[in-house]
């Protein structure tokens, strides 16, 4: 017999697949086997799941000031709603709420944004000028300043 917690985990994994989250991320979050997840993807999307290496960080998704600001806003909302927690439930809740308020956002980019801030791959400082939190990495031309007001981060 399937326990309630296991059933909820299966439902969350299915919802993440419907949203388009890459299977290796779903597998890591939900602990469900690859064969099952691949079949669910094909059933939901009508095609085989995408293959290939995942990006190393959120910086792969940041192509301009707009993508930097959208992903920063997503992280800020996630932190406001769930702090540093990154569970399938908290992530899916934030993703759905962000889309309701702000419009579409790539679920994979959003996952990497939250994960990278949580583990410190990128920083998430507050801008001295506009007080917005934002994804910061000195080595990237789209994240070396606040994407909302264009203020450059000052070295401490």
Per-residue pLDDT of the chain (156 residues; tens, 9 = 90+): 568 888 899 999 999 999 999 999 999 999 999 999 999 999 999 999 998 899 999 999 999 999 999 999 999 999 999 999 999 999 999 999 999 999 999 999 999 999 999 999 999 999 999 999 999 999 889 999 999 999 887 654
Distance CA 134, CA 132 (A): 6
Location of structure tokens 């469900």: 32
Compute CA distances 128 → 18, 60, 71, 125, 146, whole Å: 39, 26, 19, 9, 9
User: How is residue 141 written in tokens?
Assistant: 């031309």
- The DSSP secondary-structure symbol of 59 reads G
User: How is residue 123 written in tokens?
Assistant: 């920083």
Give me the sign of the Cα torsion angle 90, 96, 102, 104.
positive
């Amino acid at each position: 017999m399937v326990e309630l917690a296991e059933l909820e985990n299966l439902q969350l994994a299915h919802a993440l697949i419907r949203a388009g989250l890459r299977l290796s991320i779903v597998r890591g979050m939900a602990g469900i086997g690859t064969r099952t997840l691949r079949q669910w993807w094909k059933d939901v999307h009508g095609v085989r799941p995408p293959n290939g290496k995942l990006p190393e960080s959120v910086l792969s998704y940041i192509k301009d000031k707009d993508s930097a600001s959208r992903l920063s806003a997503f992280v800020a909302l996630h932190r406001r709603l769930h702090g540093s927690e990154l569970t399938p439930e908290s992530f899916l809740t934030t993703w759905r709420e962000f889309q309701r308020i702000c419009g579409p956002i790539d679920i994979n980019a959003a996952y990497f944004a939250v994960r990278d801030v949580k583990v410190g791959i990128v920083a998430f400082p507050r801008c001295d000028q506009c007080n917005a939190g934002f994804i910061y990495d000195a080595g990237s031309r789209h994240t070396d300043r606040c994407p909302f007001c264009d203020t450059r981060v000052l070295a401490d």
